[in-house]
Homo-oligomer: A and B are copies of this chain.
Amino acid sequence: MRVLVTGAAGFVGSKLVSSLSADRFIRISGRGTDAARIDEIVAHDILKPSVQENGPRIISRAGDLSNRAEAEELVGDGVDLVVHLAAVVSGQAEEDFDLGYRVNLDGTRNLLEACRRLAKPPVFIFASSGAAYGGELPETVPDNLRLTPTTSYGAQKVIGELLVTDYSRKGFIDGRALRFPTIVVRPGAPNRALSSYASSIIREPLQGKEAICPVDDGVQIFILSPRMLIRNIRHAIGIPASELGFDRALTLPGIRVSAGQMIGALRQIAGDDVVARIVRRPDPQVAKVVEGWPGYIEATRARSLGFVADNSMADIITAFIQDELGGA
């Protein structure tokens, strides 16, 4: 089985490549209940991802999916599974309108078109986002609420969902568009996502560094840990198409936490000295955008399909310490 992961230099992509490579076998839609063997993983990003060779052969590739020919060459004569994570993040897509549409819309479309030309439709996982939601949102967002994004990034993600569903309905791919909650705690450095602070305020203080919190204690966010995200992506790969029906987009389950609750959980686990490294510097622009995102999404459909959320903020912090800080 040949697997393509786009955005593989990002933290979700690299974790997924490691996970798939380590296990070597994965259950995949359309191949019955036995796990299928992964023979090759193509790890793709705009800059060549650094990869560690484990089980299957891992091929690192650089390129621009917004170039149709490059997308076609990447997909080649056949691929059994595509996990399309590559995207320009929310803050950047908001600043650079053309770049956002070129990468997030044209890039996705090019990849779908390349897959459409294959003899056998691949399983196609598309990373959507809670930024698909916007406008006046109820306290608890039901699965069937209209998606009215208030950022270009959100619009591009909803468009991607519509394309994945339409290409699946036509039998060109076997797609699954997963709306990711905000992923916390992201490892690595702060990025240009407007939600970047939510990871920073845990990650930096635990490593002796200052972190800026741009929102008030009360600002809530809907989150999922990297560990549980990888588990959910792997689960999505295995769900039979018949269980999904025509609508291929869903929100992954998450938990709702306020900035205050996040900081409280950090204090319980790591103490006052660590929390003291958080600098409060309110940024009304960040707060406004984040408050426009849904605080809690029911994700009833995802739960009934076997997707899972974390248990608590404490669990999320503990998982981060185990997975990224060597347990210390």
A residues 141-156 touching B (CB-CB < 8 Å):
143-150, 152, 155
Stretch among A19-27, A160-168, A208-216, A309-317 lining the B interface: A160-168
- Measured in the bound complex, the distance between the Cα atoms of B145 and A149 in whole Å is 14
Say yes or no: is A11 at the interface (Cβ < 8 Å to chain B).
Answer: no
User: What's the nearest-Cβ distance from chain B to residue A64, in Å?
Assistant: 19
- Measured in the bound complex, the distance between the Cα atoms of B247 and A149 in whole Å is 9
CB distance B159 to A162 under 8 Å?
A: yes
CB distance B247 to A135 under 8 Å?
A: yes
Residues of B within 8 A of A162 (CB): 149, 155, 158-159
Residues of B within 8 A of A148 (CB): 165, 246-247
CB distance B159 to A246 under 8 Å?
A: no
CB distance A97 to B170 under 8 Å?
A: yes
The residue on B at minimum CB distance from A170 is B97
Known contacts A145-B146, A246-B150; decide if A166 and B170 are in contact (CB<8 Å).
no
Say yes or no: is A48 at the interface (Cβ < 8 Å to chain B).
Answer: no
6 contacts between A and B (CB under 8 A): A135-B246, A143-B146, A144-B146, A146-B146, A148-B165, A159-B163
A-B contacts besides A146-B146, A146-B147, A152-B170, 14 pairs, CB < 8 Å: A134-B246, A135-B247, A143-B146, A144-B146, A145-B146, A147-B147, A149-B162, A150-B246, A152-B166, A155-B163, A155-B165, A155-B166, A158-B162, A159-B159
